[in-house]
Amino acid sequence: MPRHTRVVLKSVPLHVIQRGHDRQRCFFSDEDFLVYRQWLHEEAVMARCAVHAYVLMSNHVHLLVSVDDAERLAAMMKGVAQRYAQYFNRRQQASGSPWDGRYKSCVVQTEGYLLTCQRYIELNPVRAGMVRFPGNYRWSSYRSNAEGRHDELLTPHSVYERLGLNPSDRRQAYMRLFQQPLTPMQIAEIRAAANGNGVLGDKGFGASTPQA
């Protein structure tokens, strides 16, 4: 079956998902999470890809990124996937790829949808029942976006930066967004768009976005 061309628009955010092979674990220890996050940062810098939010779960990864073209996104994802696969196979005495084929991605409408998608990503550990509060999970961008902890991987999106006039105000405004839970419809929309390599946005945005 031929591969579908990904929809990537210059400076338009993307929700990217990379899953473990057969949904099996790809992270087993703190060191696993640390090396993946470091290599993701290095590959993002080389590809000139801005990472706005992320969560590293035990068997998959969610990213919210902005990049100029599909080739740069592919280079970043290929680079970190290959480096981590070599590390993983040495650690686990395994062979092959720990990843389930190609990553999935969808473009995200900036206004009205970006922060919803960002919250969806950072709330993954809560929905999975791993923690009660997103700040209790170490391997996500929440602690930086909401609590101000330094994370060299992250580049705040302009929509996030418009939440307040200074970092403290932005963090407080961002934390208040989490007081309102995502609706089942919002969650279903985000999942359908990401799993289908589609578009997350309103009808007007979808109609104006080139389809693969």
> Per residue in 113-137, pLDDT tens?
999 999 999 999 999 999 999 999 9
**Could you tell me the maximum CA-CA distance found in the chain, to the nearest angstrom?**
50
Tell me the percentage of the chain whose pLDDT exceeds 90.
80
Residue type for 83, please? R
| Host domain of residue 154 | 14-201
Looking at residue 80, its pLDDT comes to: 97
Q: Give the predicted TM-score (pTM) of the model.
A: 0.92
1 domain residue, yes or no: no
212 domain residue, yes or no: no
Give first-to-last CA distance, the chain, whole Å: 15
> Per residue in 135-151, pLDDT tens?
999 999 999 999 999 99
> Alpha-carbon distance 70 to 5, whole Å?
9
**CATH number of the structural domain spanning residue 162:** 3.30.70.1290
Quote the number of domains for the chain: 1
Looking at residue 198, its pLDDT comes to: 87
The pLDDT of residue 60 is above 60: yes
128 domain residue, yes or no: yes
Looking at residue 211, its pLDDT comes to: 53
185 domain residue, yes or no: yes
Q: How does strand 104-108 pair with strand 199-200? A: parallel
211 domain residue, yes or no: no
The pLDDT of residue 207 is above 90: no
